[in-house]
């Protein structure tokens, strides 16, 4: 009888311990999501088509951080509401400058936050094509903006705006 009580007690203890393992929840990681706050353009693009916008940077909605030692990591507690390629495409659709090209496509080569510099940066290759020419013009542009007070959404909008203002400046464009 005593043996039976000990066996039942041990089995009950194992069941309770196993139930605690199976039914307990892992601690939840708080995730902060950021989106660029793009402002409407003062005037529309002049009949320019947006071609493909491709992200080759290795970052998607994940928040990519470059550490001081050059190591790149993904921060699982922060992410973008939309992917970088969609951010750039949205910014291109509302940008107020004209390139003189009829079609533009883009490849994002880098999109990351530098923790030691406190900057959000990108490197993008643009391809411009005009209907009147068979030639395609290529332009690689790199820009960075400081992130103030952890406002990544506003910084991302400023980054895309700065990139497009510098890239689509007609005076700098080579025909």
Residue 117 sits in a domain of what CATH number?
3.40.50.10610
pLDDT-derived band at 50 (thresholds 50, 70, 90) equals: confident
Structural domain harbouring 123: 35-167
Whether 26 maps to a domain, the answer reads no
User: How far apart are alpha carbons 51 and 25 in whole angstroms?
Assistant: 46
Q: Is 143 helix (H, G, I), strand (E, B) or coil?
A: strand
Whether 20 maps to a domain, the answer reads no
Count of domains forming the chain: 1
pLDDT-derived band at 43 (thresholds 50, 70, 90) equals: very low
Q: Is the pLDDT of residue 103 over 70?
A: yes
User: How far apart are alpha carbons 117 and 129 in whole angstroms?
Assistant: 36
Whether 50 maps to a domain, the answer reads yes
pLDDT, residue 100, reads 61
> What confidence tens digit (pLDDT) does each residue in 3-19 have?
776 676 767 666 666 65
Whether 131 maps to a domain, the answer reads yes
Whether 173 maps to a domain, the answer reads no
Whether the Cβ atoms of residue 127 and residue 104 lie closer than 8 Å to each other? yes
């Amino acid at each position: 009888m005593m043996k039976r009580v000990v066996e039942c007690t041990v089995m009950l203890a194992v069941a309770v311990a196993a139930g605690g393992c199976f039914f307990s929840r892992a601690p939840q990681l708080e995730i902060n999501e950021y989106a660029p706050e793009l402002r409407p353009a003062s005037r529309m693009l002049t009949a320019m088509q947006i071609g493909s916008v491709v992200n080759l940077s290795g970052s998607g909605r994940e928040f990519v951080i470059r550490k001081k030692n050059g190591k790149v990591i993904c921060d699982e507690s922060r992410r973008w509401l939309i992917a970088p390629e969609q951010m750039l495409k949205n910014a291109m659709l509302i940008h107020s400058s004209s390139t003189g090209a009829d079609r533009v496509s883009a490849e994002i080569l880098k999109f990351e936050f530098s923790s030691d510099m406190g900057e959000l940066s990108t490197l993008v290759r643009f391809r411009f094509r005009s209907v009147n020419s068979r030639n395609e013009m290529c332009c690689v542009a790199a820009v960075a903006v400081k992130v103030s007070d952890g406002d990544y959404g506003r910084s991302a909008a400023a980054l895309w705006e700065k990139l497009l203002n510098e890239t689509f400046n007609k005076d700098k464009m080579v025909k």
